[in-house]
Structure 1
Amino acid sequence: MTLEISGRVVTRENLVYEEARTMWNRAIEKYPLVIAFCKSSEDVAKSIKWAKAQGVPVRIRSGRHHYEGYSTGNGVLVIDVSEMNQIHLDEAKGEVTIEGGVRNRELYEAVCSKGYPFPGGGCPTVGVVGFALGGGWGYSARMLGLGCDAITHIELINAEGEVVVASKEQNADLFWALKGSGGGQFGVVVKMTFKLPKKREEATLIRIESHHVTRENQIKVFKLWQETIRELCPEANFKLSFYNSKEKGDGILLIGIHYGTREEAHRLAAPFIQLGHTLHVLVQTMSVLEINRWIQDAHPEYEHYKSSGRFVEQSLEEQHMHELLDMIKERAEGAVYTALSCYGLGGHLTSVKEDTASFAYRRCQYILGFQTVWEDNKDSDANKNWFVERFKVIEIMTQGSFVNFPGAEITNYLDAYYGKNQDDLIKIRKKYDKNNFFKFEQGL
């Protein structure tokens, strides 16, 4: 039985198969049976029905950015919605509707060019739908909320190939579940509508970097950042990274956005600059679109990496900071870069009622990320083993894991990703996918 859709159907016999199966994380080596590049909801429905008739497992893919590669697999049908990328901006209604394959860059271009900020992600090729389904952290989160907080309407294709709408008014339990449970759980999302925030033409970008820093200075910056993020105004947010780079050595990178004046942004940045060892400082007011372009353009085209992230509820003590920084003192074999990164939470995130979305950790102070990056897949095992051993240190001092920064080695992943919401999510999953058709390695 041949899969017939309006989009491309790629199998192992096609010359483009290697490109079609490749993920953004080049360390993921999976060999799907079929990749269906769907162009419409009808294509998605046909692909689901074909997979059921053939007894072939499915995976759902958009931006190809899943950290552990659960949007692909060996011997599966990959339902790829990346070519479903229409964007409809309705300023009269104050909303934007996207198809399932729209990426961060395209959405920022459409929305920010009209003067609207958006609670999207930093990496340009991440699929917006997957980003938002996992909660969705971004540099604007403390002012605008998470990506999932702006969702008003979701349309998906279920395991029967039928259209299901989720909103506050329709299938409200599914709507709640989709806002934080991660991608691929309940069906193939083909449309998502977001409420637009108020227009803001300009903001100020803050970037401070230091190379060859001492441990003393790392600790000073870590303490300052942790104190700052607790008291910071909602209009600002910072991501802080401590890195060990083959090219730059031990360094510190602070990136932030302030939706205010350049003078206010300078006051926020000044304490970090005054700590010394600063190499590069940029505090510049520009359009919101230019800021997002700047942040996105700093991301590489692809990487070989292992990464995950946990939530910090209570401020870390200096001893914990030393333990964390010890982890990146030496890189893994073949690694060119390793880092600890702190992603600021708080602000208006805490004003959203916890029961409005299944995202369980909005009351935490920040997300603590950890990664190692290498260049050749011959070093994959060494880097993964190095990472797993050190990630155990992070687990001891943190509260739960971010489903958008997943880790294959997390044993009780349901508790880690969903906390107190896991039982309700499992019930809703059984209601909307009775036979567990959309199953994958860390599904509900």
Structure 2
Amino acid sequence: MKFKLPPKVDKVTYVQIYYPKASKKIQHEFLNTWQTWIDEVDENINLNGELYNTLDDGVYAYARGISYKNIEETQKFLEPFYNIQGAKIYLEYELFLEVVNKIASGYTPYEHFKLTGRFVNRYYKSREISNLVDIVNQNRHKGSILTAVNIYGLGGKVKDIGNCDSAYYYRDANYILLIQSIWEDNVYKKENVDWVLEILNIFMILQKAHI
């Protein structure tokens, strides 16, 4: 097997975006902005996004990722997010490996969770985004310390190859949508696993019904 290494990367900009105590309106605006932005933005930046409902911090929106440009150029990429009320945006220009380690440190060594979702190939309509916002704003299931809607960007170089030209098929997707629940006491495992699967199923049914 032969591998072609990409050009060496020295420094990158680590991006974090917070909307603490975000209202449903802000959450809706964040998801709608992100899904358009991820499809149109320069290939030198990618951000994942989340809506969280946590035991400690309540409901908030969050995004983080890496830009291969400096802070000034990265700020231009992020203009749509600055325009959403309540944005707190933190940019750090550091060595690539340091940024990767910072991102890795955000994951706990071990946790009980269920995470499942779908590839998204189009823009969600306003009603569909509202359905996603409603998922996060309902009461967490019994035993859950966090529920979330996660969105992970694709596009970019991924789309340069046809769906059937490699083992990875979903190259035409704009992003990945995931629904998640985390619990501490594993006695609540079945209830939370069932909740995630049920919520996803309801969301898919509402999509088909155009509700």
TM-score for both structures, normalised by structure 1 = 0.45
The answer for the alignment partner of 1:300 in structure 2 is: 108
Q: Does 1:255 find its partner at 2:78?
A: no
The answer for the alignment partner of 1:321 in structure 2 is: 129
The answer for the alignment partner of 1:336 in structure 2 is: 145
CA contact (8 A) 2:42 2:77 kept: no
Q: How does 1:51-66 map to 2 (within 5 A)?
A: none
User: Once the two structures are superposed, what CA deviation does each residue of 1:179-221 show, in whole Å capped at 9, x if it has no partner?
Assistant: xxxxxxxxxxxxxx75321111111111011221100111111
Equivalent residue in structure 2 for 1:206, among 12, 15, 20: 15
Q: Which gives a bigger RCO, structure 1 or 2 (Cα 8 Å, sep 6+)?
A: 2
State the distance in 2 between where 1:218 and 1:327 align: 11
Instruction: Name the one with the larger strand percent.
Output: 2
State the distance in 2 between where 1:317 and 1:310 align: 16
Q: Does 1:269 find its partner at 2:69?
A: no
The answer for the alignment partner of 1:29 in structure 2 is: none
Q: Which amino acid aligns with 1:352?
A: I
The answer for the alignment partner of 2:120 in structure 1 is: 312
Listed as ranges, the gaps of 5+ residues in structure 2 are none
The answer for the alignment partner of 1:245 in structure 2 is: 54
State the distance in 1 between where 2:197 and 2:160 align: 35
State the distance in 2 between where 1:246 and 1:391 align: 22
User: Once the two structures are superposed, what CA deviation does each residue of 1:284-343 show, in whole Å capped at 9, x if it has no partner?
Assistant: 111111110110011111111111121000110010011112122221101000100111
State the distance in 1 between where 2:195 and 2:142 align: 9
CA contact (8 A) 2:131 2:203 kept: no
State the distance in 2 between where 1:231 and 1:270 align: 13
Equivalent residue in structure 1 for 2:92, among 261, 279, 284: 284
CA contact (8 A) 2:21 2:58 kept: yes
The answer for the alignment partner of 1:77 in structure 2 is: none
CA contact (8 A) 1:312 1:368 kept: yes
| 1:293–1:374 Cα change, 3 Å | same
The answer for the alignment partner of 1:357 in structure 2 is: 166
The answer for the alignment partner of 2:28 in structure 1 is: 219
TM-score for both structures, normalised by structure 2 = 0.92
Deviation at 1:270, TM superposition (A): 3.0
> Whose Rg is larger?
1
Listed as ranges, the gaps of 5+ residues in structure 1 are 1-152, 154-192, 399-444
User: Once the two structures are superposed, what CA deviation does each residue of 1:118-166 show, in whole Å capped at 9, x if it has no partner?
Assistant: xxxxxxxxxxxxxxxxxxxxxxxxxxxxxxxxxxx3xxxxxxxxxxxxx
CA contact (8 A) 2:21 2:59 kept: yes
The answer for the alignment partner of 1:347 in structure 2 is: 156
DSSP-derived class of the 1:243 partner: strand
Deviation at 1:238, TM superposition (A): 1.1
State the distance in 2 between where 1:352 and 1:202 align: 28
Instruction: Name the one with the larger helix percent.
Output: 2
State the distance in 1 between where 2:198 and 2:18 align: 28
Deviation at 1:395, TM superposition (A): 3.6
State the distance in 2 between where 1:247 and 1:277 align: 20
Deviation at 1:282, TM superposition (A): 1.3
Deviation at 1:227, TM superposition (A): 1.2
Number of aligned pairs? Answer: 206
CA contact (8 A) 1:206 1:269 kept: no
CA contact (8 A) 2:117 2:200 kept: no
The answer for the alignment partner of 2:176 in structure 1 is: 367
Deviation at 1:375, TM superposition (A): 0.5
CA RMSD of aligned residues (A): 1.6
Deviation at 1:394, TM superposition (A): 4.0
The answer for the alignment partner of 1:377 in structure 2 is: 186
Deviation at 1:368, TM superposition (A): 0.2
